[in-house]
Structure 1
């Protein structure tokens, strides 16, 4: 373990991440499911700006930690950090550029900004300073299987986001029934893809912080998926009754 590794902080932040996911299951209502009304026009910012701002720390913080560390000693660490930063480069700049939707609360964006800074620091610090992989890690079954899940989940996620964007013309914020891809089987194919992605990452890294983030993602997005599925069923009388909420054929 590197002398720069703060193991107690990593353990605390990882454990808190799981607890936060449990809290999200209990009280996690936001967006269209929130009953709160904005206090005034200054309480909202455009969706595109809000998304880029809130996701940015997940990319910038790891990049700064990599720069500060000087170098990464093993190929495994380099590849795993590349996967994490690659995901958030896409989510911040590419997805953020194309995103459409209603304006969002500044308070919500700030909460997401803090969370992304926290998780970006946790995952990067752990991989740079606290986890050392031997030269054979990139051929280990856990790495290869996790990498396959990560790439498959990211493909599901990106494709599903594309299908959702194609439902609306620019400026249109009405809700429509998504079709195509995994949307033929579940209501939130984009959430399913992201959950698969982060469980793949946790297997490939084989670290507690990564597993904690995967559990947090599953709890938060799983709860939101159930709300989302119920929302579709209530809004559209012709919504396909055979579709599940999150997991094809199961849930």
Structure 2
């Protein structure tokens, strides 16, 4: 009985030991610990909901699951600006609230600021829109981005003065972040070129990694957020990045099914998000 009781604890200890090579010691913060669990569970649940057909109401799914319900609709451009602007302002303000906390914190703050600044520029100058976004979708996503950004910055602040993890992932994180951001922007640009001026209908994307997956922009966004996770090396960043990956995998699965239902000539070899696999 003693062996049976202690074996799971030993496995748990080994797992924590492995994580300890890559992560800062978890801070004694109820807020950060709670938000770590909430981020992972809520985003993973959102991905599962997408697979089951219960979609967040934006982009091509903006009017799905709204039959018989009254909603206040925003233009997609205005809705997207509402999503990203508070998080951008929070990440930019972090330089004032937490100055001079080392290279890692500066790079993390910069990565988050550039991420949301890029999103705002894409909303204003790159994306083309054909639908709307409901206000009851925009508000929770906006709050999620804002809370995620502030929590990640605060979690990094709590590592100030702690011993660095034995394995330093800062510079691989920078490479992943730049790769993910560049790939995400490039495929957003390809999407924007599908429609001529005045056109609103959807078309099958072509070019780049659209030849292999229908959501390469999601794939590169996952790479980008794991770059931020590597830069941060906090448990919260790991939970958020993993949750984001699970949500985007679910969303990409739903997107591929949508294209299959709308286009008879959709190429069956094009997967959802992982080339040749899924």
Q: What residue is the counterpart of 2:230 in the other structure?
A: 203
Offset at residue 133 of structure 1 (A): 7.2
SS at match of 1:119: helix
The structure-2 alpha-carbon separation of the partners of 1:171 and 1:213, relative to structure 1 and needing over 3 Å to count, comes to farther
Q: What residue is the counterpart of 2:65 in the other structure?
A: 35
Distance 1:48 1:6 in 2: 40
Alignment counterpart, residue 17 of structure 1, candidates 29, 39, 42: 39
Q: What residue is the counterpart of 1:46 in the other structure?
A: 75
Distance 2:216 2:190 in 1: 10
Offset at residue 39 of structure 1 (A): 4.8
Q: Which runs of 5+ in 1 are unaligned?
A: none
Please report the TM-score for the alignment, with normalisation by the length of structure 2: 0.80
Offset at residue 6 of structure 1 (A): 7.0
Residues 92 and 113 in structure 2, CA contact (< 8 A), matched pair in contact too:
yes
Worse-matched range after superposition: 31-40 or 221-230: 31-40
Q: What residue is the counterpart of 1:64 in the other structure?
A: 93
The structure-2 alpha-carbon separation of the partners of 1:133 and 1:230, relative to structure 1 and needing over 3 Å to count, comes to farther
The aligned runs of 1:146-185 (5 Å cut-off) are 146-185=173-212
Alignment counterpart, residue 107 of structure 2, candidates 73, 79, 104: 79
Distance 1:38 1:166 in 2: 35
The aligned runs of 1:114-133 (5 Å cut-off) are 114-127=143-156, 129-132=157-160
Distance 1:6 1:46 in 2: 42
SS at match of 1:104: strand
Distance 1:73 1:112 in 2: 29
Distance 2:145 2:121 in 1: 17
Query: Are 1:88 and 2:116 matched, yes or no?
Result: yes
1:40-82 CA distances to partner (integer Å, 9 max, x unpaired)?
A: 5x7111111110111112211122333233x122112111210
The structure-2 alpha-carbon separation of the partners of 1:38 and 1:179, relative to structure 1 and needing over 3 Å to count, comes to farther
Query: Are 1:97 and 2:124 matched, yes or no?
Result: yes
Please report the TM-score for the alignment, with normalisation by the length of structure 1: 0.88
Q: Which runs of 5+ in 2 are unaligned?
A: 1-26
Residues 104 and 231 in structure 2, CA contact (< 8 A), matched pair in contact too:
no
The structure-2 alpha-carbon separation of the partners of 1:126 and 1:170, relative to structure 1 and needing over 3 Å to count, comes to farther
1:155-183 CA distances to partner (integer Å, 9 max, x unpaired)?
A: 11000000001101234221101011111
Offset at residue 135 of structure 1 (A): 11
Offset at residue 153 of structure 1 (A): 1.1
Alignment counterpart, residue 220 of structure 1, candidates 247, 266, 274: 247
Residues 185 and 217 in structure 2, CA contact (< 8 A), matched pair in contact too:
yes
1:99-145 CA distances to partner (integer Å, 9 max, x unpaired)?
A: 22212111111111111111111111122x212378999xx751121
Distance 1:50 1:6 in 2: 36
Q: CA RMSD in A?
A: 2.2
User: Rg larger in 1 or in 2?
Assistant: 2
SS at match of 1:45: strand
